[in-house]
């Protein structure tokens, strides 16, 4: 692969970065001394926790909303935008929409923690609770699009969303051009797909490793089946990795298959230990989904000795109660 991956080209990645300038943080990439010693490698941490909304999702949401304004004009978005989310995407859409003066509605299932719903509402979006799964929240989005003429902002399955997330990959290649591997949490595939498209276009030798939940991992089950499938959602410390990928997935399923080199599932105990380790050694409080890269390194003994490896700290939307659950799970 050279400059394209299932519709996500380098030109589109750089266009996304231009749209994000001044609205999204170019996050730092730093070396972890503790983790580098532990794994006998150069372990680099990409701090998406430092975005204004605390997570990488702001990139995709900002890119898509900005592109829609460019292409369709403000009148086309007068009815507002609507999305479904497990938390971080909803907060990103709320933030980006408010910054651009666009009304926004965010549909959440009852599984989404209340602190995430509150954070969305604080940014000016209308929060709608519906059903017990992400699929039911998506159905509400479709209803509002059909009945009210709202514009949908998908959480992952759109080239504009993917290109926004892929700007992380551009930054990785600028800050660590000799990177050997990047380890990314895998759910809907927007983050891994975007990063993978960017790094593979610039440095094809970079290994892209995906990490999923041990249970309720829709993308992992879909890849195994060779087609998008539905799975039952389960509670997890890494709750933002839950949810389906859409049975009519048109972008990220194929993209992940193209750019991902290997994949691992991690247990709740491994996620808990990684969350606690990152707090203890890096002094950062991260959500479970942000800790799965470290969890995979520890639980599966990935061979990284002597390599430069980037872990994506994707977000910090975690409550103290969740941290307490993580500590209790591992007895620390």
Chunk the chain into consecutive blocks of 10 residues (it has 332) and report each block's average pLDDT, rounded to whole numbers.
Answer: 64 98 97 98 98 96 97 94 90 96 95 86 95 86 96 95 98 98 97 98 97 94 95 87 88 97 97 96 95 98 97 92 90 81
In this structure, the answer to whether residues 213 and 248 fall within a common structural domain is yes
Burial of 327 (0-12, 13-18, 19+ CB in 10 A): middle
In this structure, the answer to whether residues 127 and 26 fall within a common structural domain is no
DSSP 8-state code for residue 54: S
- State the pLDDT at residue 3: 52
Distance CA 127, CA 84 (A): 10
Phi, psi for 241 (deg, rounded to 5): -95, 5
In this structure, the answer to whether residues 208 and 122 fall within a common structural domain is no
CA–centroid distance for 301 within its chain? 24
Distance CA 241, CA 211 (A): 10
Of 213, 218, 168, the closest CA to residue 193 belongs to: 168
Strands in 118-165 per DSSP E = 126-129, 151-152
Predicted TM-score (pTM) of the model is 0.93
- What CATH number corresponds to the domain at position 44? 3.40.50.1100
- State the pLDDT at residue 1: 39
For tokens 């519709």, name the residue.
7
Domain count, the chain: 2
In this structure, the answer to whether residues 120 and 174 fall within a common structural domain is no
Query: Which domain does 162 fall in, by range?
Result: 4-55+158-330
Last residue of a domain, one of 112, 129, 152: 152
Distance CA 280, CA 229 (A): 38
In this structure, the answer to whether residues 227 and 282 fall within a common structural domain is yes
- State the pLDDT at residue 133: 80
Of 322, 321, 323, 310, the closest CA to residue 29 belongs to: 310
Cβ 260 vs Cβ 254: under 8 Å: no
In this structure, the answer to whether residues 325 and 224 fall within a common structural domain is yes
- State the pLDDT at residue 5: 55
Catalytic residues: 57, 314
In this structure, the answer to whether residues 108 and 246 fall within a common structural domain is no
- State the pLDDT at residue 289: 95
- The two tokens of residue 250 are 């048109």
262-280 burial, b at 16+ Cβ within 10 Å, e below that, comes to ebbbbebbbbbbbbbbbbe
Q: Are strands 151-152 and 4-5 parallel, antiparallel or unpaired?
A: unpaired
In this structure, the answer to whether residues 249 and 270 fall within a common structural domain is yes
Collapse the DSSP code of 4 into the 3-class scheme (helix H, G, I; strand E, B; otherwise coil) and give the result: strand
In this structure, the answer to whether residues 211 and 260 fall within a common structural domain is yes
Last residue of a domain, one of 129, 152, 175: 152
In this structure, the answer to whether residues 143 and 74 fall within a common structural domain is yes
Distance CA 123, CA 141 (A): 19
Last residue of a domain, one of 152, 183, 209: 152
- State the pLDDT at residue 319: 82
Cβ 210 vs Cβ 186: under 8 Å: yes
- State the pLDDT at residue 7: 65
In this structure, the answer to whether residues 42 and 97 fall within a common structural domain is no
In this structure, the answer to whether residues 212 and 119 fall within a common structural domain is no
Burial of 107 (0-12, 13-18, 19+ CB in 10 A): buried
């Amino acid at each position: 692969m050279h400059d394209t991956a299932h519709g996500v080209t380098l030109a589109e990645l750089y266009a996304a970065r231009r749209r994000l300038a001044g609205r999204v943080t170019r996050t730092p990439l730093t070396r972890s001394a503790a983790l580098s010693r532990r794994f006998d490698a150069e372990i680099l941490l990409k701090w998406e926790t430092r975005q204004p909304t605390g997570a990488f999702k702001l990139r995709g949401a900002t890119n898509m909303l900005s592109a829609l304004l460019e292409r369709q004009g403000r009148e086309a978005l007068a009815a507002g935008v609507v999305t479904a989310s497990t938390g971080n995407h909803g907060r990103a859409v709320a933030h980006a929409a408010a910054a651009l003066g666009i009304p926004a509605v965010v549909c959440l299932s009852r599984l989404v923690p209340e602190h995430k719903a509150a954070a969305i509402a604080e940014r000016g979006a209308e929060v709608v609770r519906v059903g017990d799964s992400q699929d039911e929240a998506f159905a509400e989005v479709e209803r509002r699009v059909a009945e009210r003429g709202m514009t949908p902002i998908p959480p992952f399955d759109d080239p504009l969303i993917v290109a926004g997330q892929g700007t992380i990959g551009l930054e990785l290649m600028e800050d660590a051009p000799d990177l050997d591997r990047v380890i990314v949490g895998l759910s809907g595939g927007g983050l891994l797909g975007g990063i993978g498209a960017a790094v593979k276009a610039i440095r094809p030798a970079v290994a892209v490793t995906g990490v999923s939940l041990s249970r309720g991992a829709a993308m992992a089950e879909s890849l195994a089946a060779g087609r998008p499938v539905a799975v039952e959602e389960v509670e997890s410390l890494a709750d933002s990795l839950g949810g389906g990928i859409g049975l009519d997935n048109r972008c990220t399923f194929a993209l992940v298959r193209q750019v991902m080199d290997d994949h691992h599932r991690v247990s709740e105990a491994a996620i808990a230990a990684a969350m606690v380790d990152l707090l203890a050694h890096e002094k950062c409080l991260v959500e479970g989904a942000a800790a799965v890269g470290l969890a995979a390194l520890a639980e599966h003994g990935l061979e990284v000795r002597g390599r430069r490896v980037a872990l994506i700290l994707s977000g910090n939307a975690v409550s103290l109660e969740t941290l307490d659950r993580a500590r209790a799970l591992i007895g620390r």
